[in-house]
């Protein structure tokens, strides 16, 4: 079973299901995601949020793949999938509130920043441990198959996760039971500071699927249409009962692994500069301009709208109240137990005493 190379359709209105209007919308989301990335890095450096994991350089893979999904599909992200959440309709304000951990945060400040969960959009909570979302996606896919639900699950992970236990367990189980799961590996060439060639000797990461009995596909992750086409085909296989697909989207992480990382210590500047020449946001902008779908004035308006939306969302998040401390007792069980009621009352007393002059 050979690994294949996915390619995009010939033009913006090609046969891959992305009209010119949808491509402009995709570009708008990519610009918002890139602007969000830049602002969140600055917010963390200013001490206004605690943590952030950038996705700059991976926007085409994130947006292209998300556009290939259906609303009922389930997403099992890593921690670099904010653009996927935006495509699936997660409000920008909900994302910013989670980063600040305020009273409006759906996670009530109990997940570290950048670890989101949006039930309405079927976007499962991100988790820092490497690869754990892979087996979760397979389990949910098998459950959907048993219920005969015509949906797929998709899980995102990086090249480093292909060396994890959950990668092997998840792909092996998915292959045996033909799980309706799309495995999307964002090969951004670095597992924090470890280069890809030092963690595996496989010629590609997609070829690892052959060992588990299903197809592997390599795709240019900077080409939004190619990613969209690959994921759409993989999803069609999944819901038709043909089993999973592993897609390796070859991208490059332009920024740090996270705000705890300094990539200048291990990456040569020349390598980063070369990767910037393949910037997916600039690439799609150029394609839209050549096709007559976007001019400089419209592009400037998209950028300004993104900046304005973020400024407003950040201001609202910083003005929101902090999380109510006693809410800690409300999320343990559906109904509080007598012991929790007693502990809550004791905590309330301590808080009241702390406020006294």
Q: Which positions are catalytic?
A: 253, 257, 266
Q: Hey, what are 320's tokens? A: 């929101």
Other beta carbons less than 10 A from residue 311's beta carbon: 11
CB atoms near residue 201 (< 10 Å):
6
CA angle 321–324–326, rounded 5-degree value: 175
For residue 67, the Cα-to-chain-centroid distance in whole angstroms is 13
Q: What is d(CA 79, CA 56) in angstroms, rounded to the nearest whole number?
A: 13
**Given strand 4-6, what is the order of strands in its sheet?**
4-6, 216-220, 245-250, 181-187, 153-158, 74-76
């Amino acid at each position: 079973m050979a690994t294949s190379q996915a390619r995009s359709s010939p033009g913006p209105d090609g046969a891959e299901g992305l009209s010119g209007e949808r491509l402009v919308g995709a570009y708008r989301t990519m610009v918002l995601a890139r602007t969000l990335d830049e602002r969140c890095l600055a917010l963390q450096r200013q001490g206004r949020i605690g943590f952030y994991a950038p996705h700059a350089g991976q926007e085409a893979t994130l947006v292209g793949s998300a556009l290939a999904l259906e609303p009922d599909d389930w997403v099992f992200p890593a921690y670099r999938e904010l653009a996927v959440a935006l495509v699936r309709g997660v409000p920008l304000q909900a994302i910013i509130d989670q980063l600040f951990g305020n009273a409006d945060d759906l996670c009530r400040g109990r997940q570290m920043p950048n670890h989101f969960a949006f039930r309405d959009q079927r976007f499962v909570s991100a988790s820092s441990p490497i690869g754990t979302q892979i087996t979760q996606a397979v389990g949910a896919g098998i459950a959907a198959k048993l219920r005969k639900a015509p949906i797929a699950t998709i899980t995102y992970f990086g090249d480093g996760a292909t060396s994890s236990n959950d990668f092997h367990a998840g792909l092996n189980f998915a292959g045996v039971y033909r799980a309706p799961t799309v495995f999307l590996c964002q090969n951004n060439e670095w597992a924090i500071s470890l280069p890809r060639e030092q963690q595996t000797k496989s010629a590609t990461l997609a070829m690892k699927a052959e060992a588990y009995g299903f197809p592997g596909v390599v795709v240019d992750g900077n080409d939004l249409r190619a990613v969209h086409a690959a994921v759409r085909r993989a999803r069609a296989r999944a819901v038709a009962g043909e089993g999973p697909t592993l897609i390796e989207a070859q991208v490059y992480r332009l920024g740090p692994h996270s705000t705890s990382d300094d990539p200048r210590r291990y990456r040569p500047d020349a390598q980063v500069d070369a990767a910037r020449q393949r910037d997916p946001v600039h690439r799609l902008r150029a394609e839209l301009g050549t096709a007559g779908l976007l001019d400089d004035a419209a592009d400037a308006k998209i950028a300004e709208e993104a900046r304005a939306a973020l400024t407003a969302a950040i201001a609202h998040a910083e003005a929101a109240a902090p999380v109510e401390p006693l809410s800690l007792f409300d999320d343990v069980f559906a109904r509080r137990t007598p012991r929790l009621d007693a502990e809550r009352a004791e905590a309330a007393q301590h808080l009241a005493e702390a406020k006294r002059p």
